[in-house]
Amino acid sequence: MDAVIVDTNVIVIANDADDDDRGDCRERCQDRLMQIRSDGEKVVVDDERRILEEYERNADPNTKKGIGDLFVKRLLQNLGNPDICPVVHITSLDENETDFEEFPTDDALSDFDPDDRKFIAVAIAYEDVYEQKAALLQAADSQWYGLREALAENGLIIEFICEDYIRSLYERRVER
């Protein structure tokens, strides 16, 4: 895959030096963020900066030096450089900017977290513009894991960086 869309939880977990419960997942997220740069993968974002603003709310690219912080800083420095950080347009359908024209109309995804719909919309817009898929990187959101089949049926590629961890979160959620 030569392009990815990174869910914010990957960046947060990569920066989380104090959470021993997610130590293995933290290392996997750190490794995956470093791999993006070393492999020359592009990180796709939207033209209204919805994704970047979420990254900035959850990382500190100007003062902290965690791997997630440095990842965000590099994106900000290369915003619009199509070889590093291509930008695609997604069309908001509401004033909250949580529903997008590009988001699938599949009933199985009707309850998908509104705050995460932008990531899906960007993946679809990227494929429409560049005629190639971008994988969505996910570390800890069990809803994505529970909807993995519906997402795949809509042509989306989800890379679960911490699959054992996210599966256990999903199983605990289902048991409730």
How is the chain split into domains, by residue range? 3-175
Give backbone dihedrals phi and psi of 15, rounded to 5 degrees, phi first: -85, -15
Q: What is the mean pLDDT of the chain?
A: 93
> Are the CB atoms for 22 and 13 separated by under 8 Å?
yes
Query: At 172, is the pLDDT very low, low, confident or very high (cuts 50, 70, 90)?
Result: confident
The residues, ordered by sequence, that sit 6+ positions from 134 with a Cβ below 8 Å of its Cβ are 1, 3, 4, 5, 42, 44, 122, 123, 126, 127, 157
pLDDT computed for residue 65 by the predictor: 86
pLDDT computed for residue 53 by the predictor: 96
Distance CA 67, CA 176 (A): 34
Q: Hey, what are 155's tokens?
A: 């042509």
The pTM is what?
0.94
Distance CA 29, CA 35 (A): 10
Q: Is residue 112 classed as helix, strand or coil in its secondary structure?
A: coil
Could you write out the DSSP letters of every residue in 31-65? HHHHHHHHHT-EE-EETT-HHHHHHHHH--TTT--
pLDDT tens across 98-150, in order? 899 999 999 999 999 999 999 999 999 999 999 999 999 999 999 999 999 99
Res 77 pLDDT > 80: yes
